[in-house]
Structure 1
């Protein structure tokens, strides 16, 4: 047993740790028996980053949790121990929004309205109320960050998973997209807003995994969940998501989609990098179905902007990806 886990069990009088699947990050999660709460989660964070690096997921999570909690529902930190970088957190159960919708598809309209309200809060109240010097408002999706994410996709999805390089025209297109998105990074974005990071608790949604929040385009989180790698929304649900964000921003439909097309391509290629890394290097089959779904989203993006070569290439990547998945 990890000495930090044993230390946490002893410190908080917990027992019977059961490892959970966790997320794509380096955090480790354990469901434990608690003497008063029934169950809780012990979260082990990775070692502190090198001195001088601004981002630290452990402290970022705690600071953002305090900022978000009055506006949207987030998990409660019950105890924390800074020296060992461990937390005892509220156990929200196992019902993600993805699982809820799979079992109760008839509830889609109910849940999508709640999701839409959350999206409006991120681009509205949470952006407007954020202190200008808050760490999450001092980091943004600038060209360097966007290029890092594209390079991650090139390596982990194209080279390691598909075993081929992307075409040169795609590199040039992504550079254009990055230049178009950087000056739009004025809104607080969750940065990983999808149905596996939303937990169902009664009739409410609880938001997880927000410690990487930063300034981004107004449509970043909308693109993330509208074109989710884990879920296909109905057309009615998509209209609700788009309409609520557009209403909050006061934008025309043309203006919204002009930006949303850029955000969608950037976000979905970034997600493919994550999925490729999880499959190839972490051996996590849990992410496999997300690759074909995300590629189908990308085909749609290219078709929407009338990029015929992109749509044809994405169809080829989809066929190749399906072969790679069968080989695995």
Structure 2
């Protein structure tokens, strides 16, 4: 994204400039670096010695930087590479972070050989061992209520708003039964620390290492969840043979006692269940980002997300009712702008 200077007539930006000057009085004003699917913005600050920092601008009350700080500390303790925090103002929602550059794994893969990209993807899978070991005490639980709220985004935004075909009473009852079956099934899986959005756009490539970002919504939940986020990425369609290989890599690095109780075949089946839950949610989120927030670029990612959902459903005859229920509701042709 091209960088631009702050608008000094904007009240939030004025607060940002006061924060920056309190810590870096000699630095020039920061330039906008990027934004994401939330209300957060990121600014790049160039210091007088030539170093750079990233300012996270997370305006309260809608945004709260305290979970980011807590998860950063937990992940660091577990040995996961995450951005360093240099300064903070939790009341106003500002953080000064290590500048990791602009190269996400999603961007980095362009211009590299297939073998090199696949090796980097395997590195990302292997990093999940440390992520899973991260302390989960007092973390929110990815419980039935949370899982159901996420899946209901599919009905509320993708079905009712994007397709403009709300479910009738009978369809709603069917949906609720199937949704509850999915969320109940995910509760039976091995549980651990879940980043919750571990994919190619949330992994930065810096100095030949991968650094995880956007981890503030971490929970204790199903162990395959982050693997699904990575290998069934809504932005990259990884080859099926590679996915199968890396599922085995992930399973092999689980503790021996877990592998005894949780076979590779069981893990792959759990992977499919988690994929259904996640892609239902993501379809709803992408529709909401377009319709409510005017971020229409996410609509181009609906077809791959739908493809991933259908692939997972095809492995789960128990959910044939869901396959039937949503069969006519694939993504529309490109070009919708909400």
Aligned mate of 1:248, from 244, 253, 259: 253
Give 1:213-292 correspondences, 5 Å limit.
Answer: 213-249=218-254, 250=259, 251-292=262-303
Checking the alignment, whether the CA contact within 8 Å between 2:157 and 2:288 is kept in structure 1 is yes
Aligned pairs (5 A) from 1:49-128: 57-70=64-77, 71-106=79-114, 107-123=116-132, 125-126=133-134
Query: Residue in 2 aligned with 1:165?
Result: 166
Q: 1:156 Cα shift?
A: 2.0
CA radius of gyration, larger in: 2
TM-score by length of 1: 0.87
Tell me, yes or no, if the aligned pair for 1:18 and 1:30 is still in contact at 8 Å.
yes
| Structure 2 residue ranges without an equivalent (≥5) | 1-7
- The 8 Å contact of residues 181 and 217 in structure 1, kept in 2 or not, is answered as yes
1:226-257 Cα shifts (integer Å, max 9, x gaps): 21111111234312321122113313222112
How much has 1:48 moved relative to structure 2? 4.1
Distance 1:215 1:63 in 2: 14
**Count of aligned pairs between the two proteins:** 311
Partners of 2:217 and 2:282 lie apart in 1 by 15
Answer yes or no: is the 8 Å Cα contact 2:148–2:183 preserved in 1: yes
Once residues 175 and 201 of structure 1 are traced to their aligned partners in structure 2, the CA distance between those partners, rounded to angstroms, is 41
C-alpha displacement of 1:292: 0.7
CA distance 1:83–1:302, change in 2 (3 Å): closer
Aligned CA-pair RMSD: 2.2
- Asked if 2 retains the 8 angstrom alpha-carbon contact of 1:108 and 1:237, the reply is no
CA distance 1:293–1:199, shift in 2 (3 Å):
same
- How much does 1:157 deviate? 1.8
Written as runs of structure 1 = structure 2, the 5 A alignment for 1:126-165 is: 126=134, 130=135, 134-136=137-139, 139-165=140-166
Contact 1:302–1:308 (8 Å) recurs in 2: yes
In the alignment, structure 1 segments of 5+ residues that lack a partner are 50-55
Distance in 2, Cα, partners of 1:254 & 1:58: 39
